[in-house]
Structure 1
């Protein structure tokens, strides 16, 4: 049984490990921290019954544009856990939060032209449409489809194309069945007492770090 839950700061190393196994587009740890500190509601993980992170979605809000919209920075699911609908559930969780928490009008993402499996997921299952093609978007020179999905039933208006090369990318590359152990499983099974304790502990840690962040920004 795999469950989808909101990510915490304690999940970031396991998310980075999952990214390294699955995707050629990798990020420094500070980029993961930047996301979770800025948009804590937009990071989700898929966790198996052993408390192992087997997939994640890393997303953010694009604040500099004139229309409030979300962006999927990265999505990955380990090869061992494909075909379970996890990518769809992760994406839906992030999209819903963009709409409900931030009032996003649409969500955007980039996908490699050659990534047929991801393209199929986005167009057929999730309802994304090609908005533009960004030539040589990826480090190896491959083009990207710039895709968008409408939220809130509003029409997307073409507002000049912003070519920000923050290399954001997607799953369905070669993943291996490895992952880092992670405490605080939310799935049933295992020694429920210890899981509950770990959960309480990570909740306490999370709320401590939240209050620190609030003090700084306040």
Structure 2
């Protein structure tokens, strides 16, 4: 059975291992721990038998206090043998929901390699992100990235308005 839950510090090594297996962008362990300590509500893991098989690492873009808070997906990865099970979509949906409900985020952004057709399809077709820009040589190896964004206010905030307390 695969479980989606909020990531904890004890998951950081598994998240890093998942990243190292799948992605050319790799982060030091302290980067995961920083995200988990600063925005603990925004990162989630997919686990089976206490093994991390997927994760999403989220944060808030809170640099400019004069603009509404927006969320950002720093990284998303699912091990190859666990793909096509809907885990990436579930991880992303949970992160977006938390950005809206916990922080009142209006939008969520992310970057994706122009060559990553599967991830682009997930973001564009399944999760309904829009391309806002193409950032030239965004990645360390010189590849371009699509800067993508999605308005999440109506998606989650309208659900919160209808809650009875």
TM-score (norm 2): 0.90
User: Distance between the aligned counterparts of 2:29 and 2:11, measured in 1?
Assistant: 11
The answer for the alignment partner of 2:63 in structure 1 is 64
Give the C-alpha shift of residue 67 in structure 1: 2.6
Segments of 5+ residues of structure 2 without an aligned counterpart are: 156-165
The answer for the alignment partner of 1:153 in structure 2 is 154
The answer for the alignment partner of 1:43 in structure 2 is 43
User: Distance between the aligned counterparts of 2:114 and 2:59, measured in 1?
Assistant: 22
Secondary structure of the equivalent of 1:153? helix
Query: Which digits, 9 at most, give the CA deviation of each residue in 1:120-153, with x for residues without a partner?
Result: 0001100100011100001111100000010113
Whose RCO is larger (CA < 8 A, sep 6+)?
Answer: 1
The answer for the alignment partner of 1:135 in structure 2 is 136
User: Distance between the aligned counterparts of 1:12 and 1:47, measured in 2?
Assistant: 13
The within-5 A match list for 1:1-218 is: 1-48=1-48, 50-65=49-64, 66-153=67-154
Give the C-alpha shift of residue 3 in structure 1: 1.2
Give the C-alpha shift of residue 52 in structure 1: 1.0
TM-score (norm 1): 0.69
Q: Which has the higher strand share?
A: 2
Superposed structure 1 runs of 4+ greater than 4 Å apart = none
Secondary structure of the equivalent of 1:140? coil
Query: Which digits, 9 at most, give the CA deviation of each residue in 1:147-181, with x for residues without a partner?
Result: 00101139xxxxxxxxxxxxxxxxxxxxxxxxxxx
Report how many aligned residue pairs link the two structures: 153
User: Distance between the aligned counterparts of 1:117 and 1:124, measured in 2?
Assistant: 10
User: Distance between the aligned counterparts of 1:23 and 1:152, measured in 2?
Assistant: 30
Query: Which digits, 9 at most, give the CA deviation of each residue in 1:74-131, with x for residues without a partner?
Result: 0000000000000000000000000000000000000001111000000110010001
User: Distance between the aligned counterparts of 2:15 and 2:114, measured in 1?
Assistant: 25
User: Distance between the aligned counterparts of 1:67 and 1:134, measured in 2?
Assistant: 23
